[in-house]
Amino acid sequence: MNRIPVHLITGFLGSGKTTFLNRFIKERLPERILVIENECGQTNVDGALVMDGVEEIIELSAGCLCCSLSDGLLDILYEASKRKEQYDRLVIETTGIADPSSIIQVFLQDPRVEKVFDLQQVICLADASQLQSWLDEAEEALRQIALADSVLINKTDKVSDSTRSEVESIVRGINPHARVFAGHNGNFPIDEILDTGTTKPKTVESPQVSSHHHHQHEVQQHNSHKITTFTLTFPYPLDLNNLSLELNRIVNLYHDQVYRVKGYIAIPNYPNRVILQSARSTFVATDGSPWESSIERTGKLVFIGRDLNKQVFERMFNRYMVTD
């Protein structure tokens, strides 16, 4: 059974999430889209701002999906799974102050949810005119960018070319593995954003922004915000059982520092990639696509977090390489 693709839309206050969501819905018609809207007040006004054309809008108010309403989100997902034939896609728009890691965790951790829903992408809207000030004031704005698969720099018409370039540099410094798009009024190439290719992690340069190359194993750190990202490459198969124990230990020991781990590995005598993901203290391994005969079975794990020491993690994982 094909799972329902899920897209999580995040972005700090006033970044243009609802405007982008309307654009998203319009571009994807006649798909039957289930939209979950969240606001942090008692009254949810965003739901009233979403255009007609969606299959269903479910509103969560009086809290944040990342905290007090997580049980409410699970209840909604359970109910929606009973009517899964009615939906082609699920889009979740979070409140502007949400930390996405708890929501990601729901889709990785709960077997009933994982069976029906496929979290394909975390999309973060960033206001080009306000991003730098928000990053200085709010940890949530930083985490939203760090955890994103795609960052959409919005409202570029309100800033100079030099400011736009600086914002792009800041975003890439925080999360060099994310795809970056620039636009305004919520106008972005939806089909290109949704085209994530295979389950293998990759960095895709947007035609709207300048090219930037990152070497394997290179550690990227945005000095003013202390976000660290690095990729570990494994040229040999790994022992999955022992590696799983180590990953669980790491995400629990470093849960305040490790925001996300994602990637894939090879294990001995197994034809498929094994996809590894973590968010906060949750780690899961799932079956991935088959290894092509022409492709070397090289595993890669991307680590995103705060003040991470790459050498420490490298030593941890090298113990689990299978060389014969």
The CATH number linked to 256 is 3.30.1220.10
Query: Average pLDDT for residues 67-73, to the nearest whole number?
Result: 62
Instruction: Give the total number of structural domains in the chain.
Output: 2
Clarify whether residues 170 and 82 are in a common domain.
yes
Clarify whether residues 265 and 168 are in a common domain.
no
Please give the residue that has the higher pLDDT: either 161 or 250.
161
Supply the mean pLDDT for the chain.
Answer: 81
**In-domain check, residue 147:** yes
Clarify whether residues 61 and 136 are in a common domain.
yes
Clarify whether residues 31 and 115 are in a common domain.
yes
- Least confident span in 137-141, 144-148, 271-275, 314-318: 314-318
What secondary structure does DSSP assign to 145-198, as a single string?
HHT-SEEEEE-GGGS-HHHHHHHHHHHHHH-TTSEEEE-BTTB--HHHHH---S
Asked whether the beta carbons of 78 and 110 are under 8 A apart, the reply is no
- CATH number of 156's domain: 3.40.50.300
Clarify whether residues 176 and 298 are in a common domain.
no
**In-domain check, residue 210:** no
**In-domain check, residue 293:** yes
**In-domain check, residue 207:** no
Clarify whether residues 242 and 185 are in a common domain.
no
**In-domain check, residue 211:** no
Give the domain range for residue 181.
4-194
**In-domain check, residue 280:** yes
What is the largest distance, in Å, between two alpha-carbon atoms of the chain? 61
Clarify whether residues 137 and 258 are in a common domain.
no
Instruction: Identify the band that residue 92 occupies on the pLDDT scale cut at 50, 70 and 90.
Output: very high
**In-domain check, residue 182:** yes
Query: Average pLDDT for residues 236-246, to the nearest whole number?
Result: 84
State the pLDDT at residue 165. Answer: 96
Clarify whether residues 167 and 312 are in a common domain.
no
Q: How many Cβ atoms are within 10 Å of 137's Cβ, its own excluded?
A: 10
Convert the pLDDT of each residue in 216-233 to its tens digit. 445 555 444 577 888 888
Clarify whether residues 37 and 129 are in a common domain.
yes
Clarify whether residues 167 and 236 are in a common domain.
no
Instruction: Identify the band that residue 322 occupies on the pLDDT scale cut at 50, 70 and 90.
Output: low
Distance CA 270, CA 291 (A): 9
Query: Average pLDDT for residues 133-143, to the nearest whole number?
Result: 87
Whether 74 has a pLDDT exceeding 60, the answer reads yes
**In-domain check, residue 100:** yes
Whether 169 has a pLDDT exceeding 50, the answer reads yes
State the pLDDT at residue 35. Answer: 92
Clarify whether residues 300 and 187 are in a common domain.
no
Clarify whether residues 230 and 189 are in a common domain.
no
